[in-house]
Structure 1
Amino acid sequence: MNKIYYLKTCSTCVRIIKSLQLPSNFVFQDIKEEEITVKQLEELYKLSGSYEALFSKRAKLYKEMGLKDMNLTEKDYKHYILEHYTFLSRPVIVFKNQIFIGNSAKTIELAKLAIHE
């Protein structure tokens, strides 16, 4: 399934989605309105190879909760992503068993190339 996990209130996510010109077969999941499930997160883990890769260290709560000063494990990353949507790096784009995580220009360009090849 082709899917994008994002926040509809995030201007960066909205801009990226517009720039990607996604085909109509994409499923959109606003992670604030529809929380990511354990099963979904485990599927993303299989594609990415780690929970840390899916974890946003730019989230406000990361600093506020003192997580940046802790030595987090993969189990911790999974726990925090499931606990609060803000810890999922976004957008997360899943296309034909490929995963593109985050909003770096390089990541978005790779996703665009894969989707429109």
Structure 2
Amino acid sequence: MDKIYYLASCDTCRKIIKSLPNTNRLVFQDIRQDPITPEQLEEMYRLSGSYEALFSRKAQLYKSMDLKNKNLTEADFKKYILEHYTFLSRPVFIIAGKIYIGNSQKNVNEVIAVLS
């Protein structure tokens, strides 16, 4: 099952979704309305090899909680992602057993190519 974890209120996520072909093959999960489960996060971890790769340092909570001045471990990254949706780098695509994390142009281009 191909899936996208995104935030419906995020302009960047909406723009990326608009640019995608064949979105009918994706299962959409708005992580604010339907938070990711520990099992879903484990699947993302297995595919990415790291909780840190899934963690967003751009989150406002990252700054307000002063996390940049702490030495975060993989367990910390996992805990924060499960605690609040804003810590997941978005969007996250899982397509044909491969994960694409974040909104870099390279990632978006790869997702478009895979969905075409």
TM-score by length of 2: 0.97
**Where has structure 1 moved over 4 Å in runs of 4 or more?**
none
Shift of 1:103: 0.4
Q: How many residues align?
A: 116
Partner of 1:79: 79
- How many Å separate the matches in 2 of 1:22 and 1:50? 29
State the SS of the aligned residue for 2:25.
coil
Partner of 1:108: 108
Partner of 2:3: 3
Give aligned-pair identity as a percent.
59
State the SS of the aligned residue for 2:24.
coil
State the SS of the aligned residue for 1:9.
coil
- How many Å separate the matches in 1 of 2:83 and 2:22? 29
- How many Å separate the matches in 2 of 1:31 and 1:23? 18
* Matching of residues 62-77 of structure 1 within 5 Å: 62-77=62-77
TM-score by length of 1: 0.96
State the SS of the aligned residue for 1:32.
coil
- How many Å separate the matches in 1 of 2:24 and 2:104? 24
CA RMSD in angstroms, aligned pairs only: 0.8
Deviations 1:55-106 (A, max 9, x none): 0000000010010111100000000000000000000011000111000111
Partner of 1:97: 97
Q: Which runs of 5+ in 1 are unaligned?
A: none
- How many Å separate the matches in 2 of 1:110 and 1:65? 33
Partner of 2:23: 23
State the SS of the aligned residue for 1:24.
helix
Shift of 1:115: 1.8
Partner of 2:40: 40
Q: Which runs of 5+ in 2 are unaligned?
A: none
Deviations 1:8-57 (A, max 9, x none): 11110000011012331210000000000000000000011100000000
